[in-house]
Structure 1
Amino acid sequence: MRLHVNTAGTGWQWVKRGMRTFFRQPLALTGLFFMFMVVASLLSLVPVVGTALSLVLVPAATLGLMAATREAEQKRFPMPTVLALAFRGGPERTRAMLVLGGLYAIAVLAVITVANLFSGPAPLPAPETGDMGAEAMGLVVRPGMLAAMLLYLPVSLAFWHAPPLVYWHGVKPAKSLFFSLVACWGNKGALTVFTLGWMGVFMAFGLALGLISSLLGGAAAFQVVLYPLVLLMAAMFHTSLWFSFRDSFRFDDEATDAADSTAA
């Protein structure tokens, strides 16, 4: 396994490839992401351990969505069972993915705990203008929210490439976090453009949604279409993750193809 360093412009290519692949199978990919959200929401209702259980599944869901993207890229319909790919590769791979999920849950819960220390007794209120953008800015300027964003960044980078490294290439969970961080740092230019690109896409969709909703009925219409749009955009973003992984490493074996045969 070797790190491959991409040019900064490759980040925009990841955005475009993700969008193009998503629109090959929009219903399937959105449906898979929705299925995971439903499962995570139901697990979070379990008393005491529900939130932790839902977090444990995040790396497995990331792997499943990457595998679904590969199917869509090859013009095949991703079946719902691909979402459970992480648990269909035998006891060793299942155990490794569960360990990775446990590490993710611990990291996220630690971020939440530390961020809560910065929240203070009373968060900064948003201006009472009725403007949704102002209210969103009110959330962003909360110290707890800012702390959570800063603390979660290294967690996100550590787990960015970890699921496919663990499952498809047999890397130990702890090592996969290190390799993911190294790959993200080596491709920091591409990841920066990737992030800025998706921010631009989200803003463009938001502006278009605001214009359409104002023509159709204002805030009421906005609320009706907001959740489906957020779901679609989140599914589209996750579709692009596969391309960032594929272009960040070079492998000497064919472990990925061998692992995929378990999903057939």
Structure 2
Amino acid sequence: MKLRIVPARTGLEWTRLGVRIFWRQPMALAALFFLSMAAISLATALPLVGPAIALALLPSATLVMMVGAAEASHGRTPTPQLLLVAFRTGRQRMHAMLTLGALYAGGFLLIMGLSALIDGGEFARVYMGGAPLTREVAESGSFQAAMWLALLLYVPLSLLFWHAPGLVHWHGVPPVKALFFSIVACVRNLGAFTVYGLAWTGVFLVAGMIVSLAVALLAGLGLGAGAAGGVMVGTAMMLASMFFTSVVFTFRDSFEAPEPARPTTAPAPLDDGAD
């Protein structure tokens, strides 16, 4: 496996492909994302260990969307069977994905623990859904300091796990090495990832303005808040699905797969979305 260095403009291409491939299979990919998030939400409801299990499932959920996008890129329809893709490619890779999940959960909980040293755990409780966010809490200096510390620490955690699920699943890289290769690839292609982030920020802003206009129109027509809420939730779900659809293209262009032949579900070569 060899790292690829891509020009900064590739970030725009990753965004374009995410949007384009999503619209090839919008219902299937949106359903796949919804089911992944639903599974994580159900895990959260488990007593005591639920939040930790939900965190551990996030790398697998990312992989589900990566494989789903790869399937859509090849003209195939992603199915709900992909929800178990992380656990159906052999015992060794299943254990590797479980290890990734445990490492992610441990890293995230460590970040929450460090933030708790600043504000006594208020931010962690709000973020994990254990406490309401009031105006008084939000304006607290210690709460804001804890929030920014958590955000700062989450960036390297995100980079560590960005490519790791794909490296484990498609290339059989051990979990710790996958984390190392992932963050190196992100840092070496920082220009492309910066453009990628800015491009998605633009997509979200434009979509937000369109939704705001749609909500105002619904209000002007006398329709209830339920309709406006449905539009906002549906748009958020669609945008999140598109974003996660694009992740596989960042992976494809950041690594050169080893020879001989790759697994049949490998994302390379992926269709570039051209008609």
**TM-score, normalising length: structure 2:** 0.84
1:155 is matched with which residue: 154, 157, 174? 157
Pairing partner for 1:227 from 225, 228, 233: 233
Query: Structure 1 residue 257 and structure 2 residue 263: aligned?
Result: yes
Q: Distance in 2 between matches of 1:121 and 1:162?
A: 29
Distance 1:233 1:185 in 2: 25
Partner residue in 1 for 2:82: 82
Partners of 1:254 and 1:149 in 2: how far apart? Answer: 41
254 and 240 in structure 1: CA distance in 2 versus 1, 3 angstrom threshold = farther
Structure 1 residues 147 and 222 mapped into 2: Cα distance closer, same or farther (>3 Å)?
farther
Q: Deviations over 1:74-128 (max 9, x none)?
A: 111011111211100111111111011100110111112222333469889759x
Secondary structure class of the residue paired with 1:7? coil
On the 8 A contact 2:67/2:265 being kept in 1, the answer is no
Contact kept in structure 2, 1:61 and 1:84, CA below 8 Å: no
Structure 1 residues 61 and 255, CA gap change in structure 2 (3 angstroms): farther
- Given that 1:169 and 1:255 are in contact with CA atoms closer than 8 Å, whether structure 2 keeps it comes out as no
SS of the equivalent of 2:6 reads coil
Give the alignment partner of residue 201 of structure 1, picking from 177, 200, 203. Answer: 203
Separation (CA, whole Å) in 1 of partners of 2:242 and 2:260: 27
Within the alignment, does 1:243 sit opposite 2:249 as a pair? Answer: yes
Q: Which amino acid aligns with 2:263?
A: D
Match of 2:15 in 1: 15
The 3 A distance-change label for structure 1 pair 6 and 60 is same
Distance 1:256 1:121 in 2: 46
Ranges in structure 1 where 5+ consecutive residues have no aligned partner: 128-134
Deviation at 1:144, TM superposition (A): 2.5
- 8 A contact 2:9–2:192 mirrored in 1: yes
In the alignment, is the contact (CA less than 8 A) between 1:3 and 1:248 conserved in 2?
yes
Q: Which residue of 1 aligns with 2:193?
A: 191
Give distance in 2, aligned partners of 1:48 and 1:122: 19
Going from structure 1 to structure 2, the CA distance change for 1:112 and 1:254 (only over 3 Å counts) comes to: farther
1:22-74 CA distance string (max 9 Å, x none):
00000000000100111110110111100111111111111111111011011
The verdict on how the C-alpha distance between 1:256 and 1:145 changes in structure 2, with shifts beyond 3 A counting, is farther
TM-score by length of 1: 0.88
SS at match of 1:142: helix
Q: Is the 8 A contact 1:166 1:176 kept in 2?
A: yes
Gaps of 5+ in 2: 124-132, 267-275
